[in-house]
Amino acid sequence: MEMPHDLVSWITVVSTMLGGLWWVLQHTIVSSFSQLKDEISGLREELKESHQKTDDHEVRLTALETWKHDKWEV
């Protein structure tokens, strides 16, 4: 009748190890992925602003080229 005692011991040891593994994974990998997701979101916003500035610059250059062309046409 030693089987139930050994089974309870193994269940306790395995559940403790799995709980420790879950805690380690939660505080290392999951938090790292959360930080990475936040940083990627920030970079996405910066890229949107840069894209808008590039579009504005392109419009200004087109206007200047048109003005220069029209100036010399007359």
Model confidence over 3-59: pLDDT tens digits? 567 888 889 999 999 999 999 999 999 999 999 999 999 999 999 888 888 888 888
Q: What is the pLDDT of residue 38?
A: 93
Tell me the residue range of the domain where 74 lies. 40-74
Q: How confident is residue 1, by pLDDT bands cut at 50, 70 and 90?
A: very low
Q: Is residue 73 part of a domain?
A: yes
Count of structural domains within the chain = 1
Q: Is residue 33 part of a domain?
A: no
Helices (H) and strands (E) in the chain, counts: 2, 0
Q: Is residue 35 part of a domain?
A: no
Q: How far is 63 from 55, CA to CA, in rounded Å?
A: 12
Q: What is the pLDDT of residue 33?
A: 92
pTM, entire model: 0.50
